Amino acid sequence: MRSVATGLILKRKLADFFYTCSRRRVLGCFSSSSFGTVDPRKSNGRGGEEKEVPHLPVLIVGAGPVGLILSILLTKLGVKCSVLEKSVVFSRHPQAHFINNRTMELFRKLDGLAEEIQSLEPPVDLWRRFIYCTSLSGPVFGSVDHMKPQDFDKTVSPISVAHFSQYKLMNLLLQRLEKLGFSVCSPSEIEGSIWDRKILMGHECISIHPTNEGLKVGTSYLKEGKMEEREFHCSILVGSDGARSTVRKLVDIDMKGERNLQRLVSVHFLSKDLGQYLLHERPGMLFFIFNPDAIGVLVAHDLDQGEFVLQIPYYSPQQKIEDFSFKVCEQIILKLVGWKLVDVQVLDIKPWVMHAEVAEKYVSHNNRVILVGDAAHRFPPAGGFGMNTGIQDAHNLAWKISSMLSGIASPSIIQTYEMERRPIAIYNTSLSVENFRAAMSVPAALGLDPAIANSVHRVINSSLCSIFPPSLQKFALEGIFSIGRAQLSELILNENNPLGSLRLSRLKKIFDEGKSLQLQFPAEDLGFCYKEGALVAECGEKRWESEASSVHKRDLRPYIPCAKPGCRLPHMLINALKESSAKASFSTLDLISGDKIEFLLIIAPIKGSYRLARASMMVAKEFDVPLKVCIIWPKGSSDKNVNSSEKELEPWKNFIDVEEAVKPTSKSWWELCQMSSNEVILVRPDEHIAWRTESNGIADDLLELKRVFSLMLGHGKFLL
């Protein structure tokens, strides 16, 4: 039988061989040698000229929110990277705006990003409601408040959700990247041989080829009116290039799920007058407007600034995006507003298609090509899971890439990214579809069943109708839809009309029973849990999919703190003992650094757990893994008591004593985590729990810890 240590050395050698150049360059970031000149390669460019081919450990394709977050996280963890972006400017079209609780927790670790968002976002009272009405000045069918007092009391998380437009978030991310040494370059601005920490605008990824040392990535860009090509070499390519990902197509990964759920036109416009009116009369985030002249969903991005996006359903091929000119969109806005606004300024009109699909694989080409964000999954925006899930993908991936490139983890750790994140995307897809269908229950109750509209559209699209000219098809479609919208006239929709009264009471029931579109999903937001991956699963754990399928996803479930492997570390306020800053409380989540790879072992101050902590430190050293121990003392423990930690953990120094900063009526840490104080938990750099155990139930501490670290870091199969 091969020893654990021999297995590890072998594994490390294999990783060294596999990622030789990447490691050389990662280490290079701590030396003064410039990355691009460490190992310049030459290749023939067009016209036979010799061109230098830049080599990067990580190349990210797509500078959307997910690509930018990943570049920040990797850079903080010491990994050199650059981003390719096919557009020459960043889009100002606001898409995402709801930032969920877990994403805000991650943003806390990005140099105060969460706090900055909180200082810039509109006050919560301006966006906590969804309003259903006939026009923005007409009768209201219902108004649903999506916030509860506990959303702000910081009991389950040190931060709460936010409402902040995607393009504003992008600006804050770019500022952070600039501080980390990144520069945004257009093709004509690129000079010199330093290629890392660049956001290369106007560069479209067009090809990917495996080479002996990694990947060769082809890009095209426009220079002085001519298309040019430039090649890059990289060890890892991350495709964060959005829903129509080229990277995904180039590596032949299919999507699985439902396509074309709905086509929409998204109209970005400004109107200070509308903003001021809504701010004073009916503040809200989403306005679902149904009247005989028009139907649409208005997203109030910022009432004070009067910034809105209107979503209008459209049916192709009878309706074309060209039908939605600035003038037409302005008219639709006025029909939905209900009075003549004079300051409407349409900025941009964009079509988009709603899908519910997840990539069949997230990782390919021997762990070198990885998909994140919309490139890996595309959901209906109902519930705001798209960008949030993508950002959380990046967070899951960053520490794994960093650990692998620095030799701590085996390349197979990248597989655990797919094992952990893909089931979450599958779950969030069906949750978003259920939520989208719930949103459709409102028009259905009003007599505007979208299923009927889709059937009518299918019939018009069928071969039966294809003999009619397109203009006649369009006329028929619009005629049928306007008859449908006539259901919304005041003549029908009033309490004195039996049909109208029935429909209004159906609507009331939907709102009263919470069956309309939901904004918050606490159990999924903070409570998502990895069932297998870079962790030691507990016996008897069901896999995520099978468990998920038995739950009615939209049933609003609270987040219940849990310390099982795969779960996010529960939040509790604690105080550091024996430190000058001991008085300031902080979250257990803050025990994990966002700026370096470090694992955390949480124990109670008891003999068996100290013994296990000493063994953990020893094994972590053998595995070259930074590990900190945190000893959680009950509230009221004096500094005198805690001296024992130093003695107990001798000779190890990387530990912190903290005490619970709980109210007398609150649960202790161990009760909150549903654990006994004999148990210890090992937490990963992404704040997810990798392992928990009873400290006095292990026969051989060292052997068990070697097994745990091997499994977590992908060295498992060397334990033969």
Q: Which residues bind ligand FAD (CB under 6 A)?
A: 61-67, 84-87, 95-98, 166, 204-205, 240-242, 246, 266, 352, 373-374, 381, 384-388, 390
- Shortest Å, Cβ 70 to ligand FAD: 9
Neighbours of 1 (CB within 10 A): 7
Other CB atoms within a 10 A radius of the CB of residue 206 amount to 13
Coil vs helix vs strand at 260: strand
Measured in degrees and rounded to the nearest 5, phi and psi for residue 14 equal -65, -45
The nearer residue to ligand FAD, 97 or 128, going by C-beta atoms, is: 97
**Closest to ligand FAD by CB, 71 or 166:** 166
Do β-strands 345-359 and 50-53 pair in parallel, antiparallel, or remain unpaired? unpaired
Closest distance to ligand FAD from the beta carbon of 400 (Å):
18
φ/ψ of 669, rounded to 5, equals -55, -45
Nearer to ligand FAD, 82 or 95 (CB): 95
Query: Would you give the DSSP letter of residue 26?
Result: H
Least distance (Å) between residue 85 CB and ligand FAD: 5
Closest approach, Cβ 141 to ligand FAD, in A, equals: 22
Least distance from ligand FAD to the Cβ atom of residue 381, Å: 4
Q: Which of 295, 296, 313, 301 is nearest to 352 (CA)?
A: 313
CB of 709 to ligand FAD, least distance (A): 32
Tokens of 2: 């091969």
Neighbours of 627 (CB within 10 A): 21
| Cβ proximity to ligand FAD, 249 vs 717, nearer residue | 249
Dihedral sign, CA of 250, 256, 262, 267? Answer: negative
Amino acid at 64: G
d(CA 97, CA 145): 17
Map residue 679 onto helix, strand or coil.
Answer: strand
Closer to ligand FAD by CB, 61 or 562: give it: 61
CA distance 430 to 359: 14
Nearest to residue 362, comparing CAs of 419, 424, 429, 427? 419
Rounded CA separation 41/230 (Å): 13
Q: How far is the CB of 100 from ligand FAD (least distance, A)?
A: 7
- If the CB atoms of residues 96 and 329 are measured against ligand FAD, the closer one turns out to be 96
Question: Which lies closer to ligand FAD via its Cβ, residue 4 or residue 267?
Answer: 267
Which is closer to ligand FAD, CB of 167 or CB of 610? 167
Return the number of the residue (314 or 670) whose C-beta is nearest ligand FAD.
314
The CB-of-352 to ligand FAD minimum distance in angstroms stands at: 5
* Residue 719: CB minimum distance to ligand FAD, A: 37
Min. distance of Cβ 221 from ligand FAD in angstroms?
10
- Amino acid at position 245, single letter: S
Q: What burial class does residue 54 get, using C-beta atoms within 10 Å of its C-beta: 0-12 exposed, 13-18 middle, 19+ buried? A: buried
Query: Judging by beta carbons within 10 Å of its beta carbon (0-12, 13-18, 19+), is residue 712 exposed, middle or buried?
Result: buried
Q: Which is nearer to ligand FAD, 88 or 499 (CB)?
A: 88
What Cα–Cα distance (Å) separates residue 392 from each residue in 15, 395, 525, 571, 589? 26, 5, 10, 18, 15
Q: Give 357 or 598: the residue with its C-beta nearer to ligand FAD.
A: 357
Beta carbon of residue 384, minimum distance to ligand FAD (angstroms, whole number)? 3
Please give the residue whose beta carbon sits closest to ligand FAD in the complex: 64
Contacts of 368 (CB under 8 A, 6+ apart): 210, 214, 215, 235, 236, 237
In the complex, minimum distance from the CB of residue 699 to ligand FAD, in angstroms, rounded to a whole number: 46
The number of beta carbons lying within 10 Å of the beta carbon of residue 270 is 17
Give the nearest distance from C-beta 96 to ligand FAD in angstroms: 3
SS (H, E, C) 363-380: EECCCCEEECHHHCEECC
Residues 365-385 as b or e (16 or more Cβ within 10 Å = b):
eebbbbbbbbbbbbbbbbbbb
Look-up: residue for tokens 């360059």?
25
Closer of 422 and 684 to ligand FAD (Cβ): 422
Of 66 and 408, the one with the shorter C-beta distance to ligand FAD is 66
